[in-house]
Structure 1
Amino acid sequence: MTGIREHLGIHADALILRERRNEVLASNIANAATPHFKARDFDFAAELQRAAGGGPLAVTNAAHIVHGDAPAGQMGYRVPVNPSLDGNTVEMPVEQMEFSENTVRYQTSLELLNRKISGLTRAIRGE
């Protein structure tokens, strides 16, 4: 017999990580005019894999490409295409696009989670 956590699967972890990423991206946008502010982000796919219990891929050959620059659980700095003169690395079009995409994916994860919970509720009621 599986527990509720197993039934909800990766969607619960994805929702938590999407919320965390929205906070990071919102902070970047809020600090767009702050001199020397460095835009931050994290590798969502790597964090989701880590949350699901998977580890990073093993690098067994010198020709292998290492995925991700930041260690697990740490944020990295976004590399700007056009850095500003005051040292700020926030590029509003990039941040707004990332925020919008992450929000849509958050809503998708929330909808999938709601459907799974609805299925559990129907099963408990015997419907």
Structure 2
Amino acid sequence: MAIHFDKVLGLHAEALKLRGERTKILASNLANASTPGYQARDIDFSASLARALGEAGEPLGGGAELLYRVPHHRSQDGNTVELGVEQAAFAQNAADFHVSLTFVQMKLRSLSKVIEG
């Protein structure tokens, strides 16, 4: 009997992929905090997850739509990175990644127990 990991892991596997993408985007924002003209970017995680899962709730694939962050205070050099905002978003995303990873680990552990009998 074949095991369809997409169905077993479902939402959590897609969430991990998107959190990983978001980590790269937020890290890029932090790395470019002093780059003149750099535009801070992000993704709408909820909308991206809904799009990736489709209406049936099963993974369809598809990446996240990149959005540009509107700063509270624009710098004179045109850079829109606000260090505090980016650091908070990065920390929250890291915590959310850990939660999703924990769910995936629990699912895999349960699956392993079923296979082992």
Q: TM-score normalised to the size of structure 2?
A: 0.89
Q: Percent identity?
A: 46
Classify the secondary structure of the residue corresponding to 1:9.
helix
Runs of 4+ that moved beyond 3 A: none
C-alpha separation in 1, matches of 2:55 and 2:22: 20
Q: Letter of the aligned partner of 1:51 in structure 2?
A: A
Aligned equivalents of 2:88, 2:64: Cα separation in 1: 23
Deviates more, 1:25-34 or 1:73-82: 73-82
Q: What is the total number of aligned residue pairs between the two structures?
A: 110
What is the match of residue 17 of structure 2?
16
Which position in structure 2 is the counterpart of 1:77? 68
Give the residue type in structure 1 aligned to 2:102. Answer: E
Alignment of structure 1 residues 44-55 onto 2, 5 Å: 44-54=45-55
- Equivalent-residue separation in structure 2 for 1:46 and 1:4 (angstroms): 23
- Stretches of structure 1 that go unaligned for 5 or more consecutive residues are 56-71
Cα distance in 1 for partners of 2:49, 2:74 equals: 30
**Which residue identity lines up with residue 84 of structure 1 in the other structure?**
S
Q: 1:51, 1:111 → 2: CA distance?
A: 20
- Provide the aligned C-alpha RMSD in A: 1.7
**Which residues of structure 2 form unaligned runs of 5+?**
57-62
Question: Where do residues 88-107 of structure 1 align in structure 2 (5 Å cutoff)?
Answer: 88-107=79-98
> Matched residues in 2 for 1:9 and 1:108: separation?
15
Letter of the structure 2 residue corresponding to residue 30 of structure 1: A
Query: Which structure has the highest helix share of the two?
Result: 2
Partner of 2:32: 31
CA distance in 1, matches of 2:77, 2:15: 35
In structure 2, how many angstroms separate the alpha carbons of the residues matched to 1:40 and 1:119? 37
Deviations 1:28-53 (A, max 9, x none): 00000000000001110000001111
The 5-angstrom pairing of residues 60-75 of structure 1 reads 73-75=64-66
